[in-house]
Structure 1
Amino acid sequence: MIILFVVACLATFLLTYFSTPLVKKFAIKIGAVDKPNERKVHEKIMPRMGGVAIYLSVSIVYLLMIYFTDLAGSNLGYAILIGGFIIVLTGVLDDLIELSPNYKLLGQLLGSVVAIFFGLQMEFITNPFTSESIYIGWIGIPLTIFWILAITNAMNLIDGLDGLASGVACIASFALFLVSLSLGNMMAALILLMICGSLVAFLFYNFYPAKIFMGDSGSLFLGYLLAIVSLSELKQVTFVTVIVPILILGVPISDTIYAMIRRKLNNQPISCPDKNHLHHRLLKLGLSHKQTVLTIYLISFIFSLLALLLAKVAVWISFIILLFYIILIQVSAEVIGMMQSRHRPLITMYKRIRAILK
C-alpha cells in the first residue's frame, strides 16, 4: 500500500507539473485571464484555469489506479470525478465570462447533489457526553449541502495572493491525509495524498511571483474536494469529527466568517467583495507579498497540528482548546483590522476592565 501511495503522489506531481504550462497557453488563447483592478493585488494580466490541470491530474491518476491495480472504485472517487467536473466547469465558465453569483451557486449545488447521490452525507449526530447516536435522516441533506457550500466558498475567498489557496489547501490535504490514515480510510488518504502531489507541482508555477492562477476552477474544486473528503469521516457527526476538519480548514473558514460579519455590519450583500480579508490586512500591516503568504501557511500549519491534537484528547479538553482557539482568533481579527474599529468587543471589554482596575 505504501508503494501505491508513493506512485500515486508522484504521478499527480508529474502530470500537474507538465500539464500546467499547456493549460496556461490554452487559457491565454481562449481569453481566460485575470485582469488587475482596485480589489486585486497583482498588477498585470495573468492566465488562470490552473485548476483544470489539478483536476485532470487527480482524475487521470485515480482512473489509472482503478484500472491497473486491485484498488476498487469508491463512491468518494466517483463523487470527485463527476461532482468535481461540474465544479471545475462552473469555475472555468466563471474564469471566462464571470458568472453571476446565482449561476456559481447553482453549479455548487449540483456538485453537492452528486456527493449526496454517492452517499456522502451526514447521517448520525452523537452526544459528546453520552456517546448516544441519533439518526437525523433527511435533515442530514441540508446540513451536508451547507457544509459543502461553506468549505467550497471559503477556499474560493482566500484565493487572493500568489500561492495562497494552493499552499493552504496542500497543508489541509496533508493533515486530512493523516486523519484518514489513522481512521483506516485508505481511499480518502490516497486521494488526499494525490492532491498534495498535484498542489506541490502547481506551486512551482503559482507561488510568488506566479506564472498562472488556479482561478475559480481550482479554488472551487479544492474546496469541494476537501469538503466531500471530510464528509467521508462525518457520517457519524461527533464533536471531534466536526471540529477536526474545521480546525484544519481554520484559515479559509474563519476568513469567510469575518467577511460575512463585516459585510453585514456594513449593510452590504454577503457576495460583495472587499479588501479586508486576512491577506489584505497582513499586507496593510507592512508584510511583503511572500511574507504574507508564508505567515498564513504557518497559521494553517498550527491549526492543523491543533486539529490532530484534538483527535487524541478527551472531549472536555477539546472544548477548552476550542474555546481558547475562538478567543485567539477573535482577538487577532480585531487587532489586525478584519473587523470594523467600532465593532471590537473583546478589545473594548479589555479596555473597560483595565479602566475599572485603575
Structure 2
Amino acid sequence: MTVLILLFAAACASALLTGLVRRYAISAKLLDHPNARSSHTLPTPRGGGVAIVFSFLLVCTVLAVLGWVPRPMFWLFGLSAALVALVGFVDDRKPLPARWRFLAHMAGSIGCVVALGVVLPPVPMLGWQVDLGWFGVALAASYITWMINLYNFMDGIDGLASVEAISVALGGALCWWLATGTSMWAVPALFAACVAGFLAWNFPPAKIFMGDAGSGFLGLVLGFLSLWAAFQAPAVYWSWFILTGVFMVDATTTLVRRVRRGERFNEAHRNHAYQYASRKHGSHKRITMAVAAINTLWLLPLAVAVALGKLDGLATTIVAYIPLVALAFRYKAGDRAHQEV
C-alpha cells in the first residue's frame, strides 16, 4: 500500500511540476524553435525534464529516510544525477561547449560507480562468471556516460524518450523482482511513475520537451539502476541491457556510420532511424507506440527469461538485437543520403 501511494504521489507531483515548468518556459521564452534538423514544426517550451529530476530525487529522499535505500549510496547518486541535470538545464538555456558537457557526464558517471562501491560484481557470460576487476569499473563509468548521451541523442520526437524510459524501468523492475524477490523493484517503478507524470504533457503532440536536463538524467538513472540490480542478481544486468535495445542499437549504429564518414559525432542531425521513420510515416505517435510495442512484445519476454535463468544473458542479448539492427538499416540509421524522405 505504501508503494502504491508513493507511485500515485510521484506521478501527480511530476505532472504538476511539468505544468509549472511549462508556464515558466513560456514566460522566459525558453522555446525550441524548429530548424532544418528538427522533427517538430511549432515552437515548443523545453526544459520539462526538470520536473522528472525534482520528483524522482524527492522520492529517493523519502526512500532514504524510510531506510528503503542505503543513505550514503543515495546521497552520492543524488549529487551525481543533479550535476548532470544541472549542466543539461544550463545547456538548454545557453549551449555549452561539448567538452564541458562531457566532463560533467563523466563526473556524474564516476560518482554513480563510486556510490555502488567501486568494485563491481562478476559479469555472467555464456555460463562463465567474468571478473573484470578495475577494467570493469572503467567500463561501468563509460557505460553510464554512454547512457546519458544515448538518451540525449534519441530524444528527438514527441514522447519517445519518455515511453522508452517507462518501458525499460518497468521491465527492469519486473526482472529485478523475479530474480531476487526483494522490494528494490519499487525504485525503478517509482522512477517510471515520475516519467509518466511528465509524459502526460509530452505525449504526441507534445506540449513541452524534456530538454537535455531531462534526457541526460534519464540515461544516468537507468544506467545506475541496471548496475545496482546487477549487485543483487548479476544476470539481471543483461535483462536491462536487452530492454534498452531499441535506443542502444539506433544510437550506436547512427554514431558509428556518421563517424566513419568523418562527421562530428556531437553535431546536431536527424539521421537516426526513428527520425527517418517518423518522416516516412508522417507521425510521431505511430513511431513512439511502435517502440513501446517492440519493448513489450519482443524485448520484455527475453529479458524476463534471462532474469529467471532460463536463457543466457549475452547470447539472448545478441538474439534480441539482430532484428533491431535490421530495422536500423531498414530505416537508414546514420545514412546521410537518406536524410530527407
**Fold conserved (TM > 0.5)?**
yes
SS of the residue corresponding to residue 11 of structure 2 reads helix
Q: For each residue in 1:248-301, what CA deviation from the matched residue of structure 2 results, as whole angstroms up to 9, or x when unmatched?
A: 111111111111122023211222232221221212332422112111221222
Cα distance in 1 for partners of 2:194, 2:232 equals: 30
Structure 2 residue 144 is matched with structure 1 residue 144: no
Task: Provide the rounded CA distance (Å) in 2 between the counterparts of 1:129 and 1:254.
Answer: 22
Give the partner amino acid of 1:161: I
Q: Tell me whether 1:190 sits opposite 2:190 in the alignment.
A: no
Unaligned runs of 5+ in 1: 343-358
The aligned residue for residue 27 of structure 1 is: 25
Q: In 2, Cα distance between the equivalents of 1:59 and 1:127?
A: 31
**Would you say 1:116 and 2:97 are equivalent positions?**
no
2:166 to 167, 170, 176: 170
CA distance in 1, matches of 2:63, 2:307: 30
What is the TM-score of this pair, normalised by structure 1?
0.85
Structure ID, larger Rg: 1
* Corresponding position of 2:211: 215
Q: 1:99 aligns with which of 96, 101, 124?
A: 96
1:129–1:19: structure 2 CA closer, same or farther, 3 Å change rule? Answer: closer
Q: Partner of 1:294 in structure 2? A: 289
Q: Distance in 2 between matches of 1:334 and 1:237?
A: 34
Q: Name 1:334's counterpart in structure 2.
A: 329
1:148-159 equivalences in 2 (<5 Å): 148-159=144-155
1:109-167 CA distance string (max 9 Å, x none):
12112212313545243464564553x43223211111101111111111011111011
Report what 2:248 is aligned to.
253
Give the CA deviation at 1:5.
Answer: 1.4
User: Is the 1:247–1:303 contact (alpha carbons within 8 Å) kept by the matching residues of 2?
Assistant: yes
The one-letter amino acid paired with 2:266 is S
1:90 paired to 2:87: yes
Whole-Å Cα distance in 2 between the matches of residues 85 and 325 of structure 1?
A: 33
Amino acid corresponding to residue 85 of structure 2 in structure 1:
V
CA RMSD of aligned residues (A): 2.5
Q: Which residue of 2 aligns with 1:325?
A: 320
More divergent stretch after superposition (178-187 vs 221-230): 178-187
More deviation, 264-273/171-180: 264-273
Aligned counterparts of 2:63 and 2:39: Cα–Cα separation in 1: 40
Distance 1:38 1:212 in 2: 20
Structure 2 contact 272–334 (Cα < 8 Å) conserved? no
Asked if 1 retains the 8 angstrom alpha-carbon contact of 2:250 and 2:325, the reply is no
Shift of 1:312: 2.7
Distance 1:8 1:286, change over 3 A: same
Deviations 1:58-110 (A, max 9, x none): 1223323444x454544553244211110110110111001121111111112
CA distance in 2, matches of 1:108, 1:237: 27
Percent sequence identity over matched residues? 24
Separation of aligned partners in 1, 2:227 and 2:272: 27
Change (3 A) 1:70 1:149: closer
In the superposition, relative to structure 1, how do residues 310 and 151 fare at CA in structure 2: closer, same or farther (>3 Å)? same
Contact 1:122 1:236 in 2 (8 A): no
Aligned equivalents of 2:177, 2:192: Cα separation in 1: 14
Classify 1:177/1:242 alpha carbon distance in 2 versus 1 (closer, same or farther; 3 Å): closer
Tell me the distance in 2 between the aligned counterparts of 1:80 and 1:4. 23
**Corresponding residue SS for 1:304:** helix
TM-score by length of structure 2 reads 0.89
Of the structure 1 ranges 37-46 and 115-124, higher mean CA displacement relative to structure 2 is found in 115-124
Corresponding residue for 1:345?
A: none
Q: 1:28 to 1:70 in 2, by over 3 A?
A: same
Q: Give the aligned partner of residue 40 of structure 1.
A: 38
Aligned residue identity for 1:233: A
Report the alpha carbon displacement of residue 241 of structure 1 after superposing the two structures with TM: 3.9
AA aligned to 1:206 is: N
Whether the aligned pair in 2 keeps the contact of 1:276 and 1:337 (CA below 8 Å) is yes
SS in 1 for 2:247: helix
Opposite residue 93 of structure 1, the aligned amino acid is V
Q: What secondary structure does 2:229 align onto?
A: coil
The structural deviation recorded for 1:9 is 0.7
CA–CA distance in 2 between the matches of 1:338 and 1:293? 16
Q: Residue 122 of structure 1 contacts residue 237 of structure 1 at CA under 8 Å; is this kept in 2? A: no
